[in-house]
C-alpha cells in the first residue's frame, strides 16, 4: 500500500503536470471506485480546474475551482499513470481524468477510491488522522506523547493512522531497523534513547525514500525515472532470508497483529 513517500512523490509530480489545468473529460469503468453515479461524476468534473493538490497521510486531495475536492486513497494495489493514449500502460483503468496535456489514469482501484466531496465532507473524513511525520509541531516530546497509554508493539502503533498519518508496513519496518529496535518491541519497554533514535529514524527513512521515489511498481509518466526507485534500497522489508546489508546476518520474517514484519535479529536488539 502506498505510504508517505509514495503519495508525497505523486503530489509533487502531479502538481507540475495538472495543477492549473482543466478537466476536459472523465471516464469511469468501475462505479464502485467513486461515490456518486458515473454520469453525475462526469458532469461535476468536466470543465473544472484543478487548483492544487494536497496530501494528508496516505491520501491525496485534488482541490477544484468550485470549492469541491477529489479525495484519493489508492489502498492496496492502486497506482497512477499520466500520459497520452499511446503511452497508456496495458492495465485495467477504473477512472480516468482527461486534460489537454494527457490523461491521469487511476489503476488498480479495487480497494481504493476517488470520491467527490465538499470541503466539509473532506474535513470530516480526515479529522481522525494523526499528525504528519514532518509536522513542525511534532517535536520529540509530542512524538512520544502520541504513544502514551499504549501497551502493544511499536509497529502496531506506528501503522495506526490515528497515531501518526502516512506510515504503513514497509516504512515501519525500515524505521525500526534504522533505530535498532525490533518491530515487536513493547511500547512501555522502550528506553528514552530508543524513542530518540526512532523519532530521528522516522524522518531520515521517509525523507530518503521520497528522494528515491518510493517503492511504486509503475512510473507516473513514460519519462519518469524516479518513481519506484526505493524498491532496491529497502534494508529489511520483504527481504526475508536475505543477508543484512549492515551486519551480514539473515533477515527474518515474522507476524504481529496479523501483519508481516521484517527485521535483523543481530542489528535490532534494543528496546
List the catalytic residues: 2-3, 58, 259
| Residue 121 neighbours by CB under 8 Å, 6+ apart | none
67 in Cβ contact with 119 (< 8 Å): yes
Cell of 270: 534494543
Look at the block and give the residue holding cell 469503468.
Answer: 29
Contacts of 195 (CB under 8 A, 6+ apart): 140, 143, 144
What whole-number distance in Å separates Cα of residue 131 and Cα of residue 145? 12
Q: What is the rounded distance in angstroms from the CA atom of residue 134 to the CA atom of residue 219?
A: 25
**Cell of residue 37, nine digits:** 453515479
CA 11, 59, 172, 158 torsion: positive or negative? Answer: positive
Amino acid at each position: 500500500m502506498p505510504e508517505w513517500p509514495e503519495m508525497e512523490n505523486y503530489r509533487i509530480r502531479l502538481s507540475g503536470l495538472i495543477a492549473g489545468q482543466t478537466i476536459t473529460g472523465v471516464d469511469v469503468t468501475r462505479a464502485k471506485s467513486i461515490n456518486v453515479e458515473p454520469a453525475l461524476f462526469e458532469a461535476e468534473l468536466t470543465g473544472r480546474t484543478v487548483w492544487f493538490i494536497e496530501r494528508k497521510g496516505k491520501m491525496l486531495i485534488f482541490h477544484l475551482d468550485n470549492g469541491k475536492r477529489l479525495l484519493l486513497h489508492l489502498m492496496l494495489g492502486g497506482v497512477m499513470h499520466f500520459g497520452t493514449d499511446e503511452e497508456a500502460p496495458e492495465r485495467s483503468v477504473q477512472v480516468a481524468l482527461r486534460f489537454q496535456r494527457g490523461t491521469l489514469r487511476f489503476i488498480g482501484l479495487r480497494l481504493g477510491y476517488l470520491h467527490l466531496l465538499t470541503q466539509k465532507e473532506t474535513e470530516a473524513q480526515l479529522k481522525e488522522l494523526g499528525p504528519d511525520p514532518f509536522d513542525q509541531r511534532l517535536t520529540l516530546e509530542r512524538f512520544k506523547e502520541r504513544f502514551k497509554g499504549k501497551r502493544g508493539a511499536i509497529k502496531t502503533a506506528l501503522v495506526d493512522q490515528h497515531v501518526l498519518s502516512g506510515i504503513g508496513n514497509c516504512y515501519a519496518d525500515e524505521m525500526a531497523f534504522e533505530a535498532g529496535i525490533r518491530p515487536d518491541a513493547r511500547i512501555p519497554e522502550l528506553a528514552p534513547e530508543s524513542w530518540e533514535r526512532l523519532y530521528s529514524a522516522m524522518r531520515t527513512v521517509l525523507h530518503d525514500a521520497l528522494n528515491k521515489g518510493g517503492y511504486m511498481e509503475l512510473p507516473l509518466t513514460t519519462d519518469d525515472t524516479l518513481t519506484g526507485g526505493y524498491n532496491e534500497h529497502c534494508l529489511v522489508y520483504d527481504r526475508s532470508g536475505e543477508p543484512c546489508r549492515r551486519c551480514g546476518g539473515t533477515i527474518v520474517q515474522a507476524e504481529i497483529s496479523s501483519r508481516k514484519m521484517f527485521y535483523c535479529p543481530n542489528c535490532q536488539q534494543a528496546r
